[in-house]
Amino acid sequence: MIHEITPFKQLLKRLHVARGNFHYQGDLYRPSDNLATLAGRIEPHLARCFPNASFAIQTQKFAGGRKITAEILDWPEDLTGRDAQEAAQVAIRDQMERFGTTRTNPLQDFWSCSFYCEARIGQVYWSALAKRNGLKNPVDAIVSLAAFKKRVKAGDALKLVDAPAGHRAIGTTRTITKVRSGDLILEGKSYLGFPRASAFACDGKFVRISIGSEYEPDAHLLYEWIVQKAA
């Protein structure tokens, strides 16, 4: 049997090939932007769109492309609820995607974009929320993180006074064996990583490190800083 290729069949073939194709180009897209330039344009744009929020913009290059992440440091509404989190993240991604272009066909497992974007809620946000709601074990920020790094010495000790429920080391005192740029090495082969400055508070006697999350925004570690006496 001879199958005639009619104009109608050709049309059906074109429709089949086109099915599933998607192309989006944002109104702020510039094909010549490198990753640093792109991030530099997105950061002030988000600040204008969300004037009562603050962000940290992070960039990443990998084999499959490049990525820009907007980490929420502060947000005017409470993001404890899942719906509120999703609404904020979608609103931020919508603005970021205006700077890019995407071509995709899910039926052909094809995806190509100028950059990947992500909006996530940073630990700093949960610390800020806890402050607004009232902190447990507040510590005056008299000694900055930078100053603490200079003043703390090997031979000093840290006593864990309070921590999230179930923490097994509450009441334990550990001597600091080494001070490094990013952490403290404690006896017993454990270490304490330095947090961001915004999550750190020290009044010269107590050290409070915020480790909050969506499940417990005010979660923190409270240490007593025991300075080694001079010989």
**Chain segment 52-94, per-residue pLDDT in tens:** 999 999 999 988 889 999 999 999 889 989 999 999 999 999 9
- Contact between 97 and 43 (Cβ < 8 Å): no
pLDDT, average across residues 95-123: 86
Q: What is the DSSP string of the chain?
A: ------HHHHHHHHHHHHTT-EEEE-TT--TT--HHHHHHHHHHHHHHHSTT-EEEEEEEEETTEEEEEEEEEE-SS---SHHHHHHHHHHHHHHHHTT-EEEEEGGGTEEEES-EEEEEE-HHHHHHHHHHH--SS-----S-HHHHHHH--BTBEEEEEE-STT-TTTT-EEEEEEE-SSEEEETTTEEEE---GGGEEE-SSEEEEE---SS-TT-EEEEEEEPPPP-
pLDDT at 188 over 90: no
pLDDT at 161 over 80: yes
Residues 130-159 have pLDDT tens digits of 888 888 999 999 999 999 999 999 999 999
Specify burial of residue 22 (Cβ count, 10 A radius: 0-12, 13-18, 19+).
Answer: exposed
Using pLDDT thresholds of 50, 70 and 90, give the confidence band for residue 119.
very high
Using pLDDT thresholds of 50, 70 and 90, give the confidence band for residue 12.
very low
More confident residue, 168 or 231: 168
Predicted pLDDT of residue 6? 45
Give the whole-angstrom CA distance, residue 171 versus residue 50.
Answer: 43
Name the residue among 198, 196, 211 with its Cα closest to residue 162: 211
Using pLDDT thresholds of 50, 70 and 90, give the confidence band for residue 19.
low
Predicted pLDDT of residue 68? 96
Flag whether the pTM goes above 0.85. Answer: no
The winner for highest mean pLDDT among 40-49, 187-196, 209-218 is 40-49
Residues 192-224 have pLDDT tens digits of 999 989 899 999 999 999 998 888 999 999 999
Give the whole-angstrom CA distance, residue 95 versus residue 112.
Answer: 19
Predicted pLDDT of residue 133? 86
